[in-house]
Chain A
Amino acid sequence: MSGDSSVGGRASSSGAAPAPMPKFAVAARGALADTALRRDLRAVTGELRRRREAAVGELGDWEELREAGRAIRDETLLNLDAHLERLEKSVTEAGGTVHWAADAAEAARLVTGLVTATGHGEAVTAAVPAAREIGLYEALAEAGVTAHPTDLAELVARLDGGPAPADPAPPAFHRDRARLRELFVRALPDAPPDLPDDPAALAAAARAHLRRRLLSARVAVCGADFMVADTGTLVLLESEGNGRAAVTLPGTLICVAGIDAVVPTWDDLEVLLQLLPRSATGDRMSPCVSTWTGVTPGDGPSELHLVLLDNGRSAALADEAGRAALRCVRCSACAHVCPVYERTGGEPYGPRGGGPIGAVLTPLVEGVEDAARASLPYASTLCGACADVCPVKIDIPDLLVRLRGRVVESRRRRPVPTPELLMMRSAAWTMADRGRYEAALRSGARWARLLSRGGRIRRLPGLLGKWTDARDLPAPPVHSFRAWWRARPRHGGDR
């Protein structure tokens, strides 16, 4: 699925430091200042929410499906080693070859090696959520292989000279048409110079270009949403049809998927093929679903390679939080309902993917030592909308709170306490004793009255200034509630 919450691992092997990135609050500024992007994000997420709601609402057994989905994923993860071995056996028996990649670098090396071994200098890619995680395009380029992305979002990013997009959401043809027309005329091979800028014409130009690429492709690299252990079947859901073409037309197919994409049995698809499309795009079924098992003589590729990618996923299995997070089926429904994501998009969450589950998975897999990763679990108001929609019932707010705990524990070990730690400790110390608490109430009220004008506080010093940059605070009253209570005639004293 074109979900943007792909599970990620360390960028390179042997625990090298994760790539530098800015803290969420800093990274979000660009998106917040871009009014066109915000309008677009709001329109798209709003529509996806409405579609999802309608698609889910028309089923009378959604909760039962979620329960089953959750159990299927739990079963998968608690027996992951056995399911992977079974998958390997089934795929091999069906004529495919299974490769294991312990980290991103190994995956990139494997894929590159498999492509170059065919003797072709080109490969098309389609629906590879792990591409960014493993540095696929960089590795192929280095080996002299020309890669042709066939997802529209990636095609546009590539023509633009940019990296693979954080949100593989397709380009908004109707909203962005002037820019797209200019881009296509300039960079899309064979685009006519008099290309009109209506959405249909733009889509047709992109389609024609991609169709030529796909029809002449000899090697394809694709992803898989699910890998069925007992049959060796690989499953790919998509909207654009390029995945369907990529798994059908070229002679060699290389499929890259995380080890967590395995599911135990064929029958499990009766649940997952209901949960995923309705959650992801609000479709009753994705426009194209392809399933293939090994190779089929006379139909489709004659060579199938499956690259199983670990890259930090196995380590995440070590605790309950990680096992819950890895249930994720990459539908992105949590992102589409997230009020934070709606305003920032996926980019500030870093290269592993955005939205609430991205804010969980990135720090979970990459650790919380650096400030950027540590900022991700805090990129949420814990409003809980994500947990309500998750098709496999991941309690994302709970995981975010647990990761916040992990961040704080790691900071406690540092020799110099953070200002926040000092503040939180002192608050807890104050609250632990009635006398201290009441004294704080009195002195707080005194200070606040000094800062207030006309019953409102418009500017606070220090950290709290972040609040008053845009919001007033009511000036605290002269008497706290407990002061009033004590002074009541009927209930004088403590009771």
Chain B
Amino acid sequence: MSSRERILRRVREALGEERGTSVDVPRRYRRRLTAAEAATRADVIALFTERVADHRATVRHTGADDLATSIAAALWAREARRVVAPADLPFGWLAELDGVQAVADTGLTDLDTLAAVDGVVTGCAVAIARTGTIVLDGGRAQGRRLLSLVPDYHLCVVHADQIVGTVPEAVARLRPDRPLTWISGPCAAGGPEARRVEGGQGPRALEVLVVED
């Protein structure tokens, strides 16, 4: 008998008559933010901003027209010389770069090259206000997972309409068949706050640009 059969048989025998009992999951928890947390759309964005900042990430706000300037300003502020971006990053986002070289990820295979760039610019799939999380799913403007993993600095553009209130809202929007990375602040070495020091794997600096129209 294969181990597969053995394990399944043992499970069935152990469960005995209880096996197959279906359990109703009481889903009385909240799917959306309470009015106290956020009454208006502006409150949701404010909550997201506050919670991202709690993770020691930088958050800035910008308008759609100023996005390219804001991205350029952020990169200048970090004195970035060379950044990488997904091949399908909207062209306009990097239009204002002056003195910063942007490398599009078109079959970039050498990890050392990627490790040597000064940062990465991406969009995101969903952002969660209550937890201050951005979720990348490899879709438009996000690229492969390693792009946003290896460089030391991650600039993530979040459109206001991508911000949902809660984890249930995010789970409902996301596609499980895509590889997802949920980022809540820069990864940190160590457990709870007092022991946490900068320097986990992944970018040590995370900057979020919220685009409001």
Contact = CB atoms under 8 A, between A and B. Distances in A.
* Direct A/B contact, Cβ within 8 angstroms: yes
Interface of A: 2, 43-44, 47-48, 51, 60-61, 64-65, 67-68, 71-72, 74-75, 78-82, 84-85, 88, 94, 100-102, 106, 150, 152, 169-174, 199-200, 203-204, 206-207, 210-211, 214-215, 228, 231, 233, 239-242, 244-245, 248-249, 259, 266-271, 273-274, 281-293, 296, 298-300, 308, 310, 314-318, 322-323
Given A215-B115, A317-B15, A207 B200 contact: yes
A315 B10 contact: yes
B187 interface: yes
Nearest to A2: B191
B11 interface: yes
B14 A318 contact: yes
Contacts of B115: 211, 215
A249 B192 contact: no
B21 interface: yes
Given A64-B29, A81-B15, A152-B190, 13 more contacts: A47-B192, A47-B194, A94-B177, A100-B4, A101-B3, A240-B200, A241-B202, A242-B201, A286-B184, A288-B183, A296-B178, A299-B146, A310-B7
A21 to B, nearest CB: 26
B55 A266 contact: no
B184 A283 contact: yes
A384 B128 CA distance: 34
B78 interface: no
Interface in B161-189: 167-168, 170-172, 176-189
Contact of B184 (A150, A172, A285): A285
A271 to B, nearest CB: 7
Nearest to A76: B23
Given A2-B191, A84-B11, A287-B184, A75 B197 contact: no
22 contacts: A44-B191, A68-B26, A102-B6, A102-B7, A170-B189, A174-B194, A203-B198, A240-B187, A240-B188, A240-B190, A241-B187, A245-B201, A248-B145, A267-B171, A267-B172, A270-B172, A284-B54, A285-B133, A288-B182, A296-B179, A299-B138, A299-B146
B24 A71 contact: yes
B23 A74 contact: yes
